[in-house]
Amino acid sequence: MLNLLLSVLFTVTWLVGFRLFKTYKINTFQAVVVNYWTCVFTGLLTFDVGNLLNINTLAQFWVLLAAVLGGMFISTFYLTALATQKIGLTLTTVSAKISLVVPVLFSLFVFQSSQKSFDFINYLGVLMAILAIVFSSLKKDPDAPIARDWLSIIFPVLIFATNGAVDTMVNYLNWQYINAQNGVLFSVISFVSAASIGLVGLLYQLLIHKTGIALRNILGGIAIGVPNFFSFYFLLLALADFKNDGAFLYPIFNILTILFSAVWAWLLFREKLSPLNRLGIGLAMIAMFLIAYQEIWAKIFG
């Protein structure tokens, strides 16, 4: 449980940092690229990755999959940023968060990695978690475009699919290939891939479009990069703790992220919750109990 809580706390930390980008006029793409390079150096400086680097290790198939995952990271991140501009923050956020249904379904019916039999109450909890995420994410979005066209359909579908694919692939790789020995190296390789792809795009902007890079963009990327690395690293550990049971972990992870984010949004930004948001948070608490009621019952009466 500790690894899950740490992953949630680090996730909320970089989300809060990301929230400040608009306030300090930070270029999102440039900061995202710096963020991924910061992830790489954080992993290299924190852990003894050098001892893990050898020809035999780098020749393994999971290294290629880690590189592919890194490409998915930055593609999804950039697509999310683009969708925020095109269809608004609220619709983008809801589409991204309810994508948890994808890894949940894969965990239950494809990987069959769930360590417990889901019953009606558990499934009800997952459904309630999705409703909780939608309700708690709905906010007035002054930057949302007034005109709605085909983008309002395409972008939510793409955001749902790409975020779901990333979480599902993380679940699968952690189930099949990642262990205590290669988890750090896996994280670093994934971020190297994302950072390298991002660097190509950044160089294109700098050289072709003659755009500059401001110090505040670098500092913004560093500020979210360190917690971003640890949020992913501890998520891998949390998946291992729960025997790669994505059907159990992802709803709990998303709900806890929402709850902690709501608290910090109120403390730091004095963000008010609408009645619908409060309903969503209430449903989230109920959903967590329904998803984990067997474990809670065992702890109390076991």
* pLDDT number for residue 146: 46
Residue 252 in tokens? 């709990």
Q: Decide if 103 contacts 168 (C-beta within 8 A).
A: yes
One-letter amino acid of 185? L
Cα distance between residue 291 and residue 125, in whole Å: 5
Sign of CA dihedral 150, 152, 158, 160: negative
* pLDDT number for residue 18: 82
- Domain count within the chain: 1
Q: Which residue has the tokens 């459904």?
A: 127
pTM, whole model, 2 decimals?
0.87
Helix segments in 148-292, DSSP class H: 151-176, 183-207, 215-241, 246-269, 275-291
Which 3-state string (H, E, C) describes 106-138? HHHHHCCCCCCCCCHHHHHHHHHHHHHHHHHHC
* pLDDT number for residue 239: 92
Cα distance between residue 170 and residue 103, in whole Å: 9
Per-residue tens of pLDDT for the chain, all 302 residues:
899 999 999 999 998 888 888 789 899 899 999 999 999 999 999 998 877 677 777 888 999 999 999 999 999 988 887 777 677 666 777 788 888 889 988 888 887 766 667 889 989 998 998 888 888 877 765 555 544 566 667 888 898 999 999 999 999 999 899 887 788 999 999 999 999 999 999 999 888 887 889 999 999 999 999 999 999 999 999 999 988 888 889 988 988 988 888 888 888 878 777 888 889 888 888 988 888 888 777 766 65
* pLDDT number for residue 115: 65
Residue 279 in tokens? 């309903």
* pLDDT number for residue 150: 67
Residue 102 domain boundaries: 2-301
Q: Which residue has the tokens 């709990």?
A: 252
Cα distance between residue 164 and residue 250, in whole Å: 11
* pLDDT number for residue 136: 81
Q: Which residue has the tokens 């703790």?
A: 241
Nearest to 138 by CA among 7, 258, 28, 286: 258
Cα distance between residue 255 and residue 223, in whole Å: 24
